[in-house]
Amino acid sequence: MKKIAVVAFGGNALLRANEVGTIEQQEKNTLDTCNKLISLLRNDYNLVITHGNGPQVGNILLRNEAGYAQYKIPKMPLDICVADSQGGIGYMIDRQMRNAISKTNLRRNVVAIITETLVDIGDPAFQNPTKPIGPYYLKEEADLLAKANNWVFKEDPRKRGWRKVVASPKPLDIMNKKVIKDLVKHGHIVIAVGGGGIPVYWHADTKYLEAIEAVVDKDLASAVLAREIKADRFYIITDVPKVFINFNKPNQKALDHLTAAEARKYLDAGEFPAGSMGPKIVAAVEFVESGGNEAIITSEEDIEKENCGTRITL
């Protein structure tokens, strides 16, 4: 039986910070990252690839607004926009993974799955929306939109404008996990949990499955999937080669290895901010505490190296 690795693509794996996001740029970056995953395939890992969708779904929301403003094209809700991004990004990773494999003697099928993530409608996160999505607005525009649509807006910390914010509930389960597990066990490369998955919940009385306007953290949802399919390794790809303490300070220090307890200690001490490394650390810790062998946080440039990144174990 081959080992299973779940690899969570960060934004940098698809789009660099200094790029505008043309399809040519995204495809090149995706191919570069996929090429680096070949070493995992050669080391007898079966792969599940997950990915973020921040810039892409933001652009979809902008198209929503522009299409309605100019042509009165009906706006689509956030769950449909996330599904759109899963399809487009999944297709892009699928094709570039096939291109990467075509240069080798390996033979693997690749499939992208539109994925829903189960959340609890009673999650406290719904009472305190914090996740910014979509474009920036002037305060006056934000006030009008909030009144017309019952939306919540918050000012950007860098004073670039006001953005709509939605809840970011905790992922409880991944729909289609059994299908994903079966496919990956048979050697197929599966692309799933795009953008953290589309958040859905069951109505307790009618057992009706409904989507809700929210965004699930991609790394936390990926950790849930990794746990459920009993992955051996969980890679979180980000824009730094290792996890640091005292990050961006004169005494910053790269960490080669952390136990789950050490990681939680640093997290509680404020070393890993909520809007940056924090969710990645939480996802890694939850994976190893639920039975995974190790989680690795590293950059896409380093993933093919034998002792890459920061390794987190129990």
Q: How far is CA 259 from CA 117, 160, 209, 293, 296, in A?
A: 28, 39, 38, 12, 12
**What SS3 state is found at 236?**
strand
Q: Which of 165, 100, 276 is nearest to 267 (CA)?
A: 276
Residues labelled as active-site residues: 11-12, 131, 218, 280
Q: What are the residues facing 255 on neighbouring strands? A: 243
Angstrom distance (rounded) from CA 134 to CA 140: 16
Angstrom distance (rounded) from CA 33 to CA 12: 9
Angstrom distance (rounded) from CA 169 to CA 128: 10
**Is the distance from CB of 284 to CB of 236 less than 8 angstroms?**
yes
Angstrom distance (rounded) from CA 97 to CA 262: 36
Q: What are the residues facing 34 on neighbouring strands? A: none
* Token representation of residue 146: 């909030």
